[in-house]
Amino acid sequence: MKIVIQCSATKQDLAGTFIISGRRVKFIAHPELHPPGETDIFSRPDDAIPSSSTTWRQHLVTYNSSGANPDHLLQAGSLYSPPAYVALLRSVGTENFYILSAGWGLVRSDFLLPDYDITFSSQGEARKRRTKRDAFHDFAHLTQGAILGNETVYFFGGKEYLQLYYKLTKTLVARKVVYFASKYITELMAMSTSNTAVPAQIGTIAVFLTSWATKLRSDADAA
């Protein structure tokens, strides 16, 4: 069983990011819309690093491969502050847990990510809001090689994330179950207490996520 859950707008206070000449890099969807005057560097994940032809996304791959973490980035499974993420991680394990991020794509839970503020929500600020027209070279870490036998892939998230989820898993040959909004999480809870064949961990996850369903539809739909 594999679990994919959308990202959250709220990150851990200790979330790190890249530093250039003492300036923090803040990742948003539209840096050109950010008001001038701040000392931080605002950038998109696929923008080139200043004075370099390497993009931040490419740099992040190299950073993860280095085995070092001088900028104190957090693993994707530990980056977000809502307790649902910790509950999922403990329930299914690192190797079965993935995050769908509006900023970075579909990533493994042990993949280091910098702090960022990108969302699909139509209610989000324009500088943070990613639209269908925006070009992002999203990661797609959930590959066919990660699927064992007839494993099922479960997705939990808001409807704004469905298009990206479908895009990044369209070549994946596996049974895929999608639950979005509180209606479907409540339905899943009912299934978990009936005779319907649902893994025990999913029932536990559904119970926990029901109390978090409002976040899935609103402020948790950011990257």
Q: Which amino acid is at 141?
A: H
What gap in Å lies between CA 34 and CA 44, rounded to an integer?
A: 12
Read off the pLDDT band of 83 (50, 70, 90): confident
Q: Examine residue 222 and state whether it is found in any structural domain, yes or no.
A: no
Read off the pLDDT band of 154 (50, 70, 90): confident
Q: What is the dihedral angle through the alpha carbons of 179, 2, 170, 164, rounded to the nearest 10 degrees? A: 60
Predicted confidence at residue 217, as pLDDT, reads: 42
Predicted confidence at residue 95, as pLDDT, reads: 93
What gap in Å lies between CA 45 and CA 13, rounded to an integer?
A: 21
Q: Examine residue 71 and state whether it is found in any structural domain, yes or no.
A: yes
Q: Examine residue 135 and state whether it is found in any structural domain, yes or no.
A: yes
Predicted confidence at residue 199, as pLDDT, reads: 52
pLDDT in tens, 1-21: 899 999 988 899 999 999 998
How many domains, the chain? Answer: 1
Strand partners, 106: 100, 140
Q: Examine residue 223 and state whether it is found in any structural domain, yes or no.
A: no
Q: Examine residue 11 and state whether it is found in any structural domain, yes or no.
A: yes
Predicted confidence at residue 156, as pLDDT, reads: 86
- Please say if the pLDDT value at position 61 is more than 60: yes
Q: What's the rounded mean pLDDT across residues 158-172? A: 90
Strand partners, 25: 41
Task: Compare 206 and 159 and report the one with higher pLDDT.
Answer: 159
Predicted confidence at residue 185, as pLDDT, reads: 46
Mean pLDDT (the chain, rounded):
83
Instruction: State the residue range of the domain holding 187.
Output: 2-217
Read off the pLDDT band of 34 (50, 70, 90): confident
- Please say if the pLDDT value at position 222 is more than 60: no
